[in-house]
């Protein structure tokens, strides 16, 4: 018996030794409740994959932490120092409290009257819910002429109602002889609009112009407009319902290369190629006609293992942004409109722009710098030096002006953009990406 036991032991040992020589190990199979052999090569391959994944995850985490630290640093440098007034913000939330004017206090500061600036004429290029306009009219008793524009007929109708109520209401809330005009027009037509209202004003110039480039909450919340990835509706995305091009047309009929370019350039999407192919492939099954259908394609195409910026929710946001920009030709319209607005400013007049994503902000920044270094003659530039000195002395009294950039034809009053205060970001999530830049004409 002892010998047999020893023999069994040896047999077991020799079997294990053979497995070792064949580079096999045993793995317990929980399903069949037995030990199964598996190759050490597979194990090594698996270990290598896990090591690479761990290394990749660590690198990704470090990059993410570095990116967050960079964003936090920029926020600290640009964050508004103005004390946030929640009641003041809610007072000018228009007919729908769901739409809150972004950076209202900072915009009011940009147009505050001083020895270097007086607001007697004002153009709001993006009426929206008229929150900014309402506050401007009430804060400036010297205001003589107001013009409000919006390309969206629905937004214009709501804003016009509010402005009319103000004009017909308590006269103590406005200048008695204030003239107010509102029109359904694109802000790229600002010169034509001002000329139609008062041709003399086109020659003398406007004191203040505001451009708030964000969508209003009424537009986003209306599923039929197709702007939101959170509400199922048609793939429309037109700011102007009278326009013919829809997002549905782009995803279902535009060339694949053009669809990819839109996702890459306007959405800054790294997975643009796979998304382009998925969108084109969906045409074989009838195409994409609703927000939910597009979001589902994005969800399937975007790997679940990718987090952060590559997550499908953030990818959806970038895709919707890209399509909206393409449908409304926003970026080219923006640059042309910035130049037109600057041309319409009076000497010492100011243009304030609130942007909501990096593409817009980059265009605003670069266009402002281009505008102040125009093609003025040398002698004329020399004649502006005393004007610049006077303005600089006055700027020192304005707490919101930190660093300026002087040019031949104007001054950028915000070398770095102003971002919303931490308190406003907490109460109004739309303000988190907002950036305010201001330029003044000499």
Q: Give the contacts of 74 (CB within 8 A, at least 6 positions apart).
A: none
- Residue 21 is predicted with a pLDDT of 46
Beta bridge partners of 23: none
Cα(288)–Cα(86) distance, rounded to whole angstroms?
A: 42
- Residue 164 is predicted with a pLDDT of 87
- Residue 29 is predicted with a pLDDT of 58
- Residue 329 is predicted with a pLDDT of 95
Pull the structure tokens for residue 81: 């120092």
The residue behind tokens 């399937």 is 300
Angstrom distances, CA of residue 440 to CA of 111, 144, 392, 414: 11, 20, 12, 10
Neighbours of 29 (CB within 10 A): 11
Cα(180)–Cα(121) distance, rounded to whole angstroms?
A: 10
Q: Are 149 and 220 within 8 A, CB to CB?
A: no
- Residue 8 is predicted with a pLDDT of 42
Cα(160)–Cα(270) distance, rounded to whole angstroms?
A: 42
Cα(134)–Cα(190) distance, rounded to whole angstroms?
A: 20
pLDDT tens for the chain, 442 residues long, are: 444 444 444 444 444 444 444 445 555 555 555 666 655 555 556 666 666 656 655 655 566 666 556 656 666 678 887 777 667 666 666 544 556 889 999 999 999 977 667 899 999 999 988 899 999 998 998 999 999 999 999 889 988 988 888 888 766 666 668 999 999 999 999 999 999 999 999 999 999 999 999 887 788 888 899 998 888 999 999 999 999 999 999 999 999 999 999 999 999 999 999 999 999 999 999 999 999 999 999 999 986 545 544 588 889 999 999 999 999 999 999 999 999 999 999 999 999 999 999 999 999 999 999 999 854 444 445 555 555 656 666 665 678 898 999 999 999 999 999 999 999 999 888 899 999 999 999 9
- Residue 419 is predicted with a pLDDT of 96
Pull the structure tokens for residue 264: 């890459």
Q: Give the contacts of 416 (CB within 8 A, at least 6 positions apart).
A: 77, 78, 402, 403
Cα(198)–Cα(245) distance, rounded to whole angstroms?
A: 33
**Per-position b or e across 159-179, b if 16+ CB within 10 A of its CB:** bbebbeebeeeeeeebbeebe
Q: Is the pTM of this model over 0.75?
A: yes
For residue 278, the Cα-to-chain-centroid distance in whole angstroms is 25
Phi, psi values for residue 205, rounded to 5°: 100, 160
**Three-class secondary structure assignment of the chain:** CHHHHHHHHHHHHHHHHHHHHCCEEEEEECCCCEEEEEEHHHHHHHHHHHHHHHHHHHHHHHHHHHHHHHHHHHHHHHECCCCCCHHHHHHCCCCCCCCCCCCHHHHHHHCCCECCECCCEEEECCCCCCHHHHHHHHHCCCCCEEEEECCCHHHHHHHHHHHHHHHHCCHHHCCCCCEEEEECCCHHHHHHHHHHHCHHHHHHCEEEEEEECCCCHHHHHCHHHCCCCCCCCECCCCCCCCCCCCHHHHHHHCCHHHHHHHHHHHHCCCCHHHHHHHHHHHHHHCCCCEHHHHHHHHHHHCCCCCCHHHCHHHHHHHHHHHHHHHHHCHHHHHHHHHHHHHHHEEEEEEEEEEECCHHHHHHHHHHHHHHHCCCCCHHHHHCCHHHHHHHHHHHCCCCCCCCCEECCCEEECCCCCEECCHHHHHHCHHHHHCEEEEEEEC
How far separated are the first and last CA of the chain, in Å rounded? 110
Q: Which of 186, 316, 291, 288 is nearest to 239 (CA)?
A: 186
Q: Which of 152, 187, 210, 127 is nearest to 336 (CA)?
A: 187
Neighbours of 219 (CB within 10 A): 19
């Amino acid at each position: 018996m002892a010998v047999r036991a020893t023999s069994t032991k040896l047999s077991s040992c020799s079997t294990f030794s053979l497995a070792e020589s064949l580079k096999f190990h045993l793995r317990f199979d929980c399903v069949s409740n037995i030990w199964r052999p598996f190759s050490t090569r597979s194990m090594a391959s698996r270990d290598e994959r896990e090591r690479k994944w761990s290394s990749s995850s660590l690198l990704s985490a470090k990059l993410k932490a570095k990116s967050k630290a960079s964003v936090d640093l920029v926020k600290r440098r640009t964050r508004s120092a103005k004390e946030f007034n929640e009641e003041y913000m809610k007072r000018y939330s228009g007919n729908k409290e769901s739409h809150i004017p972004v950076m209202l206090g900072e915009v009011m500061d940009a147009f505050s009257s001083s020895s270097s600036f007086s607001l007697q004429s004002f153009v709001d290029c993006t009426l929206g819910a008229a929150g900014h306009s309402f506050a401007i009219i009430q804060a400036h008793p010297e205001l003589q002429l107001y013009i409000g524009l919006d390309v969206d007929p629905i937004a214009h109708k709501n804003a016009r109602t509010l402005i009319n109520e103000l004009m017909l209401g308590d006269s103590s809330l406005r200048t008695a002889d204030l003239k107010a005009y509102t029109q359904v027009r694109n802000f790229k037509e600002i010169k034509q609009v001002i000329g139609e209202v008062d041709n003399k004003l086109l020659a003398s110039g406007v004191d203040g112009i505001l451009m708030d480039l964000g969508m209003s909450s009424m537009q986003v919340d209306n599923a039929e407009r197709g702007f939101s990835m959170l509400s199922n509706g048609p793939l429309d995305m037109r700011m102007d319902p009278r326009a013919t091009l829809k997002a549905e047309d782009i995803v279902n009929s535009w060339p694949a290369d053009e669809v990819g370019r839109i996702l890459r350039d306007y959405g800054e999407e790294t997975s643009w190629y796979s998304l382009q192919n998925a969108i084109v492939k969906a045409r074989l099954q009838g195409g994409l006609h609703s927000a939910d259908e597009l979001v589902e394609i994005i969800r399937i195409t975007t790997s679940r293992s990718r987090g952060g910026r590559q997550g499908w929710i953030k990818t959806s946001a970038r895709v919707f942004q890209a399509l909206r920009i393409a449908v409304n030709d926003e970026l080219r319209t923006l640059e042309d409109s910035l130049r037109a607005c600057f041309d319409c400013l009076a000497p010492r007049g100011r243009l304030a722009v609130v942007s909501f994503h990096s593409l817009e902000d980059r265009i605003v920044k670069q266009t402002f710098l281009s505008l102040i270094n125009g093609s003025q003659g040398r002698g004329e530039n020399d004649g502006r030096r005393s004007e610049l000195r006077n303005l600089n002395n006055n700027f020192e009294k304005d707490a919101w002006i930190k660093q300026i950039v002087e040019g031949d034809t104007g001054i950028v009053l915000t070398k770095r953009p102003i971002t919303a205060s931490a308190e406003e970001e907490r109460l109004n999530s739309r303000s988190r990406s907002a950036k305010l830049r201001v330029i003044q004409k000499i």
